[in-house]
A and B are shown apart, each in its own frame.
Chain A
Amino acid sequence: MTKDDGEMVEEQKKKPCRFWIWALSSVLFRLILISYAGNLNLSSRPEVSTPLTSIRRLAEGYWLKQASMSPYAGSMYHGSPLLLSLLGPLTVQRLVAETSSNDLKLCFNLVEFKKEDTLDVSGSKGNQVTSFADILSAILLRGIGKKLQMAYGLNARLLGLLKSPRDKGILPCGDIAALVYLWNPFTIVCCVGLSTSPIENLAVILALNGAVTRRVPLAAFGLVMATHLSLYPAILTIPVIFLLGYGLDAPPLKLFLQTRNVESGNRSSTSSASKQAKSKPTAQLPFLWKTVVHFVFWALVWSLCVMVLCRLSLSKHGGLEEMFKRTYGFILSIEDLSPNIGVFWYFFAEVFDFFRNFFLIVFHVNILFMLLPLAIRLKHRPCFLAFIYLAISSLLKSYPSVGDSALYLSLWALFVNELADMKFSFFLFCGYLGVSLLSPVMHNLWIWRGTGNANFYFGNAIGYACFQIVFVVESVSAMLNHDRALKKCNPNHQKVKN
């Protein structure tokens, strides 16, 4: 035991060190990429910037606001007014810095103009925004790191319960998840491309982090902010409430009950009734109503704060009603048909007007429809539930970007222990890789070269949707299989003991 402890301590010392090296190198990698960002032209890629997350649209909204117009005038900006006052000044500084540093010269020559054009569209990346992205990544990292410890403790408890010999085989899922987030090309692309999705992801992770570490105000704040920023995280209320009410991810309750019963049966048969009476309350995991009420209270407080702040920033033009219409309304009634990696843009560009509302309802209800079955089935694993919800919402989002995928992929890495024997993982990896490589090619063929047509890009989007579906379904069934495997393990134990 002492030896094990020593090893553990050593590992724990070594691991963070190595982890921080990797994290820092990822930041460095970003900085290197940012210096070349002008040539990468990422901020206008359809995969990175959707109408909701585009930094150019944000800059436009900020400009309109500065010109004492409503930022929602026109249909450029559809984000939060708070984000506008947070990020808006950066975009302006960015432009000013750019114009002063670059001694631009106008030549009345189309070619020259074109060069300058691309230079300005993409090349203007201020240090402010990148540093902001770095801080953001660091916060995300820490949030996931905390989760790592919780998951670690959970696993230890679980294994202590099961007395499994694979004690040392537990992977540090927090580190892995954080590194998966930091080194995921999708995240890097979103960071370098200056989309606002890292901030949305931050809010989501804040909510989960708060719920996991039982910091109720933080959880409420994260959830409210995430919902405010992109609406879809509203469905995370269910897993967050489960997390607060029932505690962290654990194998199904029956297992505990069984093991408890077995243990109690082993120890003494005489006072079994009293033992059971003692163990029952601990085994039943009571729902912590107080915490949940606390959470609801905080959520109300935070949403009130957000409302008041939005109200203040929009007091001169339109007010909250316009904000809801232009943000949530825009998300729900898929108005912008510019291509993205989802499938809705093409669907609604092609669908007959008569059916438009019907399909809008069907597709949005599709997200809500799955909430209840998943919640019932995965009640004991609220974090995993949150991951599945996020994956589903990024699959059925009206304007998905790779930033959403980055978030759920890194959350997926939190469950490496449980999902170790997931099927099709290599196939899925290849699929994601293939889609993310083909998407720019198809986009280029269609939009820039004009040699392909919209079906090329749409086919790619369909492929991406299919891979995501397989991913979601496979991870759900892998998790259920894992629980089943635990259950199968358990009777054996019982038999051995008996």
Chain B
Amino acid sequence: MARTVLTWWIPLLILQSFLLAIAFGSNEVEEEFSESLLLKPLPDRKVQKFRVKEMELSFTQGRWNHEHWGGFDSLSSMNAKPVGVELWAVFDVPHSQVDTSWKNLTHALSGLFCASINFLESSTSYAAPTWGFGRSADKLRYGSLPREAVCTENLTPWLKLLPCRDKDGISALMNRPSVYRGFYHSQRLHLSMVDSGEEGLGSGMLLEQSLTVVLQPDTVYDGKDLQPSWSLSSLFGRKVVGKCVLAKSSNVYLQMEGLAHQALWKNEEFELSTQPDRILRENSSFLYIFNIDKSSDSEPFDLGLTWKLPSKWSCQQAPLHASRFLMGSGNERGAIAILLKATESQDKLSGRDLTNGGRCTIRANVFQIFPWYVKVYYHTLQIFVDQQQNTSGEVLKKINVSPSTDKMSSGMMEMMLELPCEVKSAAISIEYDKGFLHIDEYPPDANQGFDIPSALISFPDHHASLDFKEELSTLPLLSKFKDKSLVRSYTEVLLVPLTTPDFSMPYNVITITCTVFALYFGSLLNALRRRIGEEERFLKSKGKKTGGLKQLLSRFTAKIRGRPAESPSSESTAAAQSSVLSSKLLFKIILVAGVAATWQYFSTDK
């Protein structure tokens, strides 16, 4: 079973890099081109207007499988994104204006990408990470929407930013059904301001778009242990017909990791359908580069791979595998736990470059945003290393907490852990109380629960990069991969169910509560006021002695027929009193209701 599962991963990974190539290929094009064409709706005005220094927006569906798809390569560290929408931006404005710029940016992006990014506008949904995000900038804002459903309406505006859209070049492969059929897809937009260095030109901007898709080849499993063979046309249902005329270069890369002994495109293990234009050698892998310039209508480019021998696939793992889960039951409180488990690759990594003062350690940064309705008790933070609770500050090197304010801001926690290399597992647990919201604050499907955004675990001492010997300035994607990138992984999104009030009850609650208070007010005032009446009655009865009382009695007996007339007078007076009381009470309640009604009438009239 495991084997069959493993067999899938190779083609998948290949496709990821392949698609990345598309993104970067087309991206490069943009730099070459006239502004009007390449930066059509999005960047120019917006960037200048909001003074964005750097910005990244990603739409993701599905979760990157760090265990099977790799956690220690440039691809995963750059393109594995949390579910839903993630947006971060660094601004170039004074501190006081950062938040307003952020709000404007979210609104603009929301309109541009047909997504509810504008929900990130409210201060309860974004945070300002200081160092935990791995990018230390004091004007950084970070927000994510785990609930956002990503679909074609988000992809289309993204494709519109490409010079040839999805009409020509590699992007023609973007057949919607095949893209959205995959396990994982993530579209990413990275925008950064770059100083050209030259005087006259001033600063320019660099827009990177990348789409990462993990697909499963459609080939029928033929019973042998061979992995399924695939081709571009079988995966996407389309072929590449020539490059986008506006593109400077348009390349397809195929990375084969670990298995090939020789850099041949036809060997005893597998066979490629097309001859690569160039083969690069990395540390443990080979990179086959295909240039699609030559392809045309008559001769479309269709890369295919056929396996000849069964092969086993393994990928390089991040030093620790992070997962997150909820503990506890009920809707009152709970706890969040982040579990870091050692992976196999850790052993070889730990000895390499992590000796710190004679002690081998792994550093891990945890960055986590808590929505305000998850009221975290930071004093309950517990760290367990190898199932032993760690109370001393040995493991927890640095912690930065900004607690959440009810309905005002979200909470943020940044932690730097320093774990010994031989650690098997480490766990962080923190308790929280669930908040209770106003009925208007619940989303339409309130009983589904609320999402806590992914935590980001990054390893500041570990960097992933592809290590090429060759000079790669002409291949922008690869030069990007050659840069060291921080190893990071996002954890699962947590779904926290919150208790709901009865949504159909507002009127009942208001009337019942007001009645109770009317009861309090009326009866207490009555009890206090009773003396005068009683004294008067006392005086009257003293004066008339019998007349008044008898009259009252007779009237009372006339009122209630059937009752014996010899009911004691004190009781009758009490009853009469109580009837007076209740009628007065009734009157008061009616008065209050009337006032409320007129209030309502006049307020709605406005």
Whether chains A and B associate is: yes
Instruction: Please list the residues of chain A having a beta carbon within 8 angstroms of any beta carbon in chain B.
Output: 44, 56, 59-60, 62-64, 67, 69, 73-76, 91, 95-96, 99-100, 104-108, 110, 113-114, 117-118, 120-121, 335-339, 343, 345-354, 358, 363, 366, 369-370, 373-374, 377, 395-396, 446-448, 450, 453-455, 458, 462, 465-466, 469, 472-473, 476-477, 480, 484
A113 touches B429 (CB 8 A): yes
B568 in the interface, Cβ–Cβ < 8 Å? no
B437 adjacent to chain A (CB < 8 Å): yes
**Does B25 sit within 8 A of A, measured CB to CB?**
no
Contact at A353–B517, with CB atoms within 8 Å?
no
Complex alpha-carbon distance, A455 and B504, angstroms: 11
| Interface presence of B278 (CB below 8 A) | no
A346 touching B405, Cβ below 8 Å: no
> Are B379 and A347 within 8 A (Cβ)?
no
B-side contacts of A347, CB under 8 Å: 509-510, 513
B391 touches A96 (CB 8 A): yes
| Neighbour of A473 across the interface among B331, B408, B500, B523, CB < 8 A | B523
- Beyond A106-B387, A455-B505, whether A350 also contacts B510 by CB under 8 A is yes
A358 to B505, CA, bound (A): 19
Q: Say how far B415's CB is from chain A's closest CB, in angstroms.
A: 12
Residues of B within 8 A of A377 (CB): 528, 531
Q: Contacts A105-B388, A447-B499, A476-B528: A462 and B513 contacting too (C-beta < 8 A)?
A: yes
Question: Contacts of A469 on B, CB cut-off 8 Å?
Answer: 516, 519-520, 523-524
How far is the CB of A355 from the nearest CB of chain B, in Å?
8
Are B407 and A335 in contact, CB atoms less than 8 angstroms apart? yes
Q: A108-B339, A339-B436 are in contact. Are A448 and B524 (CB under 8 A)?
A: no
Q: Which of these, B372, B388, B436, B512, contacts A337 with CB under 8 Å?
A: B436
7 pairs of residues in contact across A and B, judged by CB atoms under 8 Å: A118-B328, A343-B513, A352-B506, A353-B438, A363-B517, A448-B330, A453-B502
Measured CA separation A118–B529 after assembly (Å): 52
Chain A residues lying within 8 Å of B506, measured Cβ to Cβ, are 350-352
Closest Cβ–Cβ distance, residue B334 to chain A (whole Å):
8
Report the separation of the CA atoms of residues A477 and B505 in the bound assembly, to the nearest whole angstrom: 35
* A465-B329 in contact (CB<8A): no
Chain B: residues with CB nearer than 8 A to chain A? 325, 327-335, 337, 339, 372, 375, 377-380, 382, 384, 387-389, 391, 399, 401-408, 411, 425, 427, 429, 431, 433, 435-440, 499-502, 505-506, 509-510, 512-513, 516-517, 519-521, 523-525, 527-531, 534, 599, 603
Bound complex: CA A99 to CA B379 (Å): 13
Given the known A-B contacts A108-B427, A447-B332, are A353 and B440 also in contact in the complex, defined by CB atoms under 8 Å?
Answer: yes
Instruction: Collect the chain B residues with CB atoms within 8 Å of residue A373's CB.
Output: 525, 528-529
Question: Does A349 lie within 8 Å of B436, measured CB to CB?
Answer: yes
A56, B377: Cβ atoms closer than 8 Å: yes
Contact check, B521 vs A369: say whether CB atoms are below 8 A apart: yes
Q: A75-B372, A353-B440, A480-B528 are in contact. List 12 more A-B contacts (CB 8 A).
A: A59-B379, A74-B404, A76-B375, A95-B379, A117-B328, A337-B437, A350-B501, A350-B509, A373-B528, A447-B332, A465-B520, A466-B519
Distance (Å) between the CB of B37 and the closest chain A CB?
Answer: 48
Contact, CB under 8 Å: A458 / B509: yes
For A346, what are the chain B residues with a Cβ–Cβ distance below 8 Å?
Answer: 501, 509, 513
Q: Across the interface, which residues of A come within 8 angstroms of B403, CB to CB? A: 64, 69, 73-76
Which of A95, A113, A454 contacts B327 (CB under 8 A)? A113
Asked if residues B524 and A370 are in contact (CB atoms below 8 Å), the reply is yes
State the CA gap A182–B3 with chains docked (Å).
70
Chain B residues with CB under 8 Å of A336's CB are 406, 436
What are the residues of chain A within 8 A of B327 when measuring CB–CB?
110, 113-114, 117
Q: Which residues of B contact A338 (CB under 8 A)?
A: 433, 435-436
Specify the main secondary structure of chain B where it touches its partner.
Answer: mixed
Q: How many angstroms from the CA of A60 to the CA of B523 in the assembled complex?
A: 42
Q: Which residues of A contact B509 (CB under 8 A)?
A: 346-347, 350-351, 458
Which of B331, B401, B411 is in CB contact (< 8 Å) with A450? B331
User: Would A370 and B521 count as touching, CB distance under 8 A?
Assistant: yes
Asked if residues A350 and B505 are in contact (CB atoms below 8 Å), the reply is yes
Please name the residue on chain A nearest to B383 by beta carbon: A106
Decide if A349 touches B499 in the complex (CB within 8 Å). no
B580 CB, nearest partner CB in chain A, Å: 15
Whether A76 touches B517, Cβ cut-off 8 Å, given contacts A446-B499, A476-B528, is no
| B332 CB contacts on chain A under 8 angstroms | 44, 447-448
- Closest chain B CB from A44 CB (angstroms): 7
Contact A345–B436 (Cβ < 8 Å)? yes
Shortest C-beta distance, A268 to chain B (Å), equals: 30
- In the bound complex, do residue A59 and residue B510 qualify as a contact, i.e. CB atoms below 8 Å apart? no
Interface centre among A99, A335, A458 (most CB of B within 10 A): A458
Complex contact B520–A395 (CB within 8 A): yes
In the complex, the answer to whether A476 meets B524 with C-beta atoms within 8 Å is yes
Report the minimum CB–CB distance from B113 to chain A (whole Å): 31
Q: A59-B379, A447-B331 are in contact. Are A349 and B439 (CB under 8 A)?
A: yes
Enumerate chain B residues within 8 angstroms of A106, measured Cβ to Cβ: 384, 387-389, 427
Cβ B330 vs Cβ A337 within 8 A: no
A439 to chain B, nearest CB (A): 14
* Residue pair B425, A465 in contact (C-beta under 8 Å): no
B527 and A477 contacting across the interface, CB-CB below 8 Å: yes
Shortest CB-to-CB span from B381 to chain A, Å, is: 9
**A74-B405, A95-B379 known; A480 vs B527 contact (CB < 8 Å):** yes
A454-B331 Cα distance, complex, nearest whole Å: 12
Q: Which of B404, B427, B516 contacts A75 (CB 8 A)?
A: B404
* CB-defined contacts of B525 to chain A, threshold 8 Å: 370, 373
Rounded to whole angstroms, the CA-CA distance of A53 and B164 in the bound complex is 64
Interface residue from B375, B379, B384, B431 paired with A117 (Cβ < 8 Å)? B431
State in angstroms the CA–CA spacing of A353 and B441 once bound together.
11
Tell me whether A473 and B431 are in contact (CB under 8 A).
Answer: no
Asked whether B603 lies within 8 Å of A354 as measured between CB atoms, the reply is yes
* Chain B, Cβ-Cβ closest to A378: B528
**Using Cβ atoms and an 8 Å threshold, which residues of chain B touch A363?**
517
B510 touches A99 (CB 8 A): no
How many whole Å from A370's CB to the nearest CB in chain B? 6
A462 and B436 within 8 A (CB): no
**Contact A113/B337 with A349-B439, A350-B505, A350-B509 known, Cβ cut-off 8 Å:** yes
A5 to B375, CA, bound (A): 63
Is there contact, CB below 8 Å, between A480 and B339? no
* Residues on B with beta carbons closer than 8 Å to the beta carbon of A343: 513, 516
Bound complex: CA of A179 vs CA of B184, how far in Å?
68
| CB within 8 Å for A114 and B328 given contacts A73-B403, A99-B391, A462-B513 | yes
CA distance A441 to B340 in the complex (A): 39
B379 and A349 contact, CB distance less than 8 A: no
Give the distance in Å from the alpha carbon of A336 to the alpha carbon of B436 in the complex: 8
Interface pairs A-B: 3 shortest CB-CB: A74-B403, A63-B379, A448-B330
